[in-house]
Amino acid sequence: MFQKAGMADSVIPLAGVQDKLNSNVLTAEDFDELVRRNQKRIFRLLMSLLRDEDAADTLTQECFLKAYKSRTSFRGDSSVDTWLYRIAVNLARDYQRSKRQGFWKKMFSATPEAEDELPLLETVAHDGANAEKQLLAREEAEQVWHVVKRLSDNQREVFVMRYSEELSLDEISQALNMQLGTVKSHLNRALTTVRKRLEEHRRGR
């Protein structure tokens, strides 16, 4: 399922763990293995959705705690990976809702306001392309981050799952518990916004 380039830590399907979850015989070692194999993906998803390291770290922990607590209710309708994504996205939604209401600012008082603006330009890989291309790629990636930040919650979730986590539309549909058509619609709108922003950026160069 997750045989994707650059995701070596998460490529092994957790068939064994899934069976154990279903039969409710998951040991501490099994669960630790599940955490080990998924924590990077969940953290990356939450970082892309929230752009807040402390929140992403805390919610990654919460995600696995929730998974552990509700392990008996895991029915195996979807894969463990999709199930974890769903828990993480729900936590991110709750976090954003609470943040809007101003509660989480108090809870995470150490979170500075400036974290919204993570250093984007340092984050693009240097793959040997020439300097101008690299600069262009960095600038455009930054434009995408700006768009992602302003998308609606649903559009952002679909976009991040598709282009950061490289999930299929079916997987996104399962993880978000959303109709396939709705997933496509959100993705289409998100992409249109990205394209528009990139065109404006290119015209302005």
Interface residue list for other proteins (CB under 8 A) = 6, 28, 31-32, 35-36, 39-40, 43-44, 47-48, 56-57, 60-61, 64-65, 68, 118, 120, 122-125, 137-138, 140-141, 143-145, 160, 163-164, 166, 169, 181, 183-185, 187-189, 191-192, 194-195, 198
Q: How far is the CB of 181 from other proteins (least distance, A)?
A: 5
In whole angstroms, give the CA distance from residue 205 to residue 201.
6
> How far, rounded to the nearest angstrom, does the alpha carbon of residue 154 sit from its chain's CA centroid?
12
Least Å from the CB of residue 157 to other proteins: 14
Measured from the CB of residue 73, what is the shortest distance to other proteins in angstroms? 16
The separation between CA 131 and the C-alpha centre of its own chain, rounded to angstroms, equals 30
Rounded Cα–Cα distance for residues 201 and 199 (Å)? 5
CB atoms within 10 A of CB 28: 8
Shorter beta-carbon distance to other proteins: residue 46 or 77: 46
User: Distance (Å, rounded) from C-alpha 161 to C-alpha 151?
Assistant: 14
The residue (of 102 and 119) whose beta carbon lies closer to other proteins is 119
Nearest residue (CB) to other proteins, 93 versus 184: 184
- The CB-of-136 to other proteins minimum distance in angstroms stands at 9
Within 8 A by CB and 6+ apart from 180, the residues are 169, 170, 173
Rank residues 28 and 77 by Cβ distance to other proteins and give the closer one.
Answer: 28
Cβ-based nearer residue to other proteins, 48 or 174: 48
- What type of residue is 36? R
How many Å separate Cα 164 from the centre of its chain?
A: 7
| Shortest distance, position 101 Cβ to other proteins, whole Å | 25
In the complex with other proteins, which residue's Cβ is closer, 58 or 79?
Answer: 58
CB of 187 to other proteins, least distance (A): 5
- What is the rounded distance in angstroms from the CA atom of residue 176 to the CA atom of residue 168? 12
DSSP character for 10?
G
Distance of CA 117 to the CA centre of its chain: 18
